[in-house]
Amino acid sequence: MSSISTRLALMFGLSVALIVSVCAVVLQGSLKDSLQQQMHNELELRHSLLDPLLMSRESRGSWLKVVDKLSAMAPDDGPDALHWVISDDPFYSYGGPAPFGVDWNRVPDGFSILPPQKGCCPLNVLITTIPPAGSRPALRFVVALDSTPYMKTLGDFTHNLTAISIAGTLLVALLGYGIARLGLWPVRRLSSQAHGLAPGDTGQRLDTARLPPEIRDLAVSFNGVLARQEVAWRQLESFNADVAHELRTPLTNLMGQTQMGLAVGQDVQEFKELLQSNMEELERMTSIVNDMLFLSHAQVGRMAMDLSEISLREEAQKTTEYVEPLFVEKDLTITLQGDARALADRRLFHRALANLLENAACHADVRSEVTIDMESRDGKAYLSVSNVGQPIDPQHLPRLFERFFRAESSRSQSDRHHGLGLSIVKAIAVIHQGDVFVRSEDGVNTFGFWILAQSST
Ligand SMILES: Nc1ncnc2c1ncn2[C@@H]1O[C@H](COP(=O)(O)OP(=O)(O)O)[C@@H](O)[C@H]1O
Ligand SMILES: [Mg+2]
């Protein structure tokens, strides 16, 4: 693909070539017309001078003066204006044989052009008939003009015009190339800036201050991409740190217990207990790793979905049965309210709701009521789980759905909770083209999500 400068230069050149060609054709045509008119005028002038002379001669005696006059007008060096007098009486004939073997009787009176022959230019001819007078018969008087000098003028003009047109076109193409390169200078500057961006330094941006408006938008969008990359990069960094942190606790526990088991002599029962405890740590690690895999699959859109039209209430009923034991522990009651229909993956829906219910069971006041509300509104199917509990600090609300985020300052409960439950709820809502929400009002904490609703018809 050729450069923009070359393409612009080519386009400038072609445009100029087109315009100049049209102008040249028009100019050449008008010059040709005006030369033709000039020859016509010249012929008419000669006739106006000579016709009265021929008319006034009425006898053979006076005719000889005409012959002298015409002979005197004949050019010395080659034919310029040529004269013929055609008569049935050879005495009155003048001028010798007709040029190009033309038969004068076939050429009508008035203006005509004898076509060129053998390298000669065309002859322009004006013929008049001189009526008989006295003893003189009727005559036809032919004045011919050789168009060679006129054609030469036209040829020279065409030649010069062609040379000027070609030179002009080339000059414009060359200037166009230079101008385009000059105009594209900011683009080259931008690209060298982009080349200079060092990998790893996420705070770098392109300098958009001195850019022309045409490419400023591009640079601003590019900076937007860099800014989003920076956010993603920082998230990835903190995610890595969080993963390491989460895995370190169970690993430390595992190592400590194993070292203790190896150091001190223990009986079979104690070893069994040790292995049991190790098993719990391993299960915890497996659950973290599984949750992370789930989130990463959901994020890159590689989650297999088995969509079907479901009643949120029917499915919620099944989920509550499954998490019932958690609620019994704290003597909580679950109430279901409303219903909505949606196109969703049953398995994922159960997982999201189970996470919300587990959290509610964990954070609800003892012997309180947990409510699952479902409703269809504005084409969306909403589901929320509300429980009575400690108000959540408003500054934590926007971060609750982030990975590994836990509102509790100490991670005392981290044995069972690693802070991925709500981010999984969010991921499930997002892959159903929905989103999540949270409220903490009047001692009631509400967590929920919406997905696209199905009309119940
Ligand atoms: N029903 C709730 N009431 C109060 N706080 C909650 C509730 N559900 C979640 N949270 C807060 O959100 C945090 C993140 O929840 P989640 O992602 O499920 O992680 P985890 O349950 O493993 O701590 C919890 O640590 C808790 O601080
Ligand atoms: Mg949870």
Give residue ranges with CB within 6 A of ligand 1. Answer: 355, 359-360, 363, 387, 389, 392, 400, 405-408, 417-422, 445, 447
SS3 404: coil
Structure confidence at residue 416 (pLDDT)? 67
For residue 229, the CA-to-ligand 2 centroid distance in Å is: 29
Q: Closest ligand 1 atom, CA of 418? A: 22
Domain with CATH 3.30.565.10 in the chain: 307-452
SS3 131: coil
d(CA 328, CA 334): 10
DSSP state of 120: P
**Which band of pLDDT confidence, cut at 50, 70 and 90, is reported for residue 356?**
very high
For residue 324, the CA-to-ligand 2 centroid distance in Å is: 16
For residue 407, the CA-to-ligand 1 centroid distance in Å is: 7
Residue 334: Cβ-neighbour burial (10 angstroms; 0-12, 13-18, 19+)? buried
- Phi/psi at 268 (nearest 5 deg)? -60, -40
Nearest to 426 by CA among 244, 299, 289: 299
pLDDT at 298 exceeding the cut of 50: yes
Domain with CATH 1.10.287.130 in the chain: 213-299
Contact assessment for residue 111 and residue 40, using Cβ atoms and an 8 Å cutoff? yes
Ligand in nearest proximity to the CA of 424? 1
Structure confidence at residue 239 (pLDDT)? 81
Structure confidence at residue 66 (pLDDT)? 86
Selected residue with higher pLDDT from 412 and 419: 419
The domain defined by 213-299 folds into Helix Hairpins (1.10.287)
**CA distances, 102 to each of 99, 116, 396, 428 (Å):** 6, 12, 112, 102
Which residue in the block uniquely carries the two structure tokens 């609750």?
A: 400
- pLDDT tens digits, 233-278: 887 888 888 888 888 988 998 999 889 888 876 788 888 888 898 9
- pLDDT tens digits, 149-159: 888 999 999 99
Cα of first residue to Cα of last residue in the chain, in angstroms, is: 56
d(CA 429, CA 424): 9
pLDDT at 108 exceeding the cut of 50: yes
Domain with CATH 3.30.450 in the chain: 4-167
Structure confidence at residue 411 (pLDDT)? 46
**CA distances, 171 to each of 7, 22, 177, 180 (Å):** 15, 18, 10, 14
- Calculate mean pLDDT across residues 166-193: 91
Selected residue with higher pLDDT from 386 and 78: 386
pLDDT at 358 exceeding the cut of 90: yes
The domain defined by 4-167 folds into Beta-Lactamase (3.30.450)
SS3 83: strand
Pairing of strands 307-311, 139-146: unpaired
Our mutation pick for probing the ligand 1 site, out of 400, 413, 424, 446, counting the most ligand atoms within 8 A of Cβ, is 400
pLDDT at 409 exceeding the cut of 60: no
The b-or-e profile of 113-129 (16+ CB within 10 A means b, else e) is ebeeeeeebbbbbbbbe
- Calculate mean pLDDT across residues 367-373: 97
Nearest to 157 by CA among 37, 25, 22, 42: 25
Nearest to 374 by CA among 436, 429, 316, 439: 316
- Chain centroid, CA 327 distance in Å: 58
* The model scores a pTM over 0.75: no
Instruction: Please report the DSSP string for 148-209 in residue order.
Output: HHHHHHHHHHHHHHHHHHHHHHHHHHHHHHHHHHHHTHHHHHHHHHHHTPPTT-TT-----T
d(CA 253, CA 154): 105
Q: Which CATH architecture has domain 307-452?
A: 2-Layer Sandwich (3.30)
DSSP state of 415: G
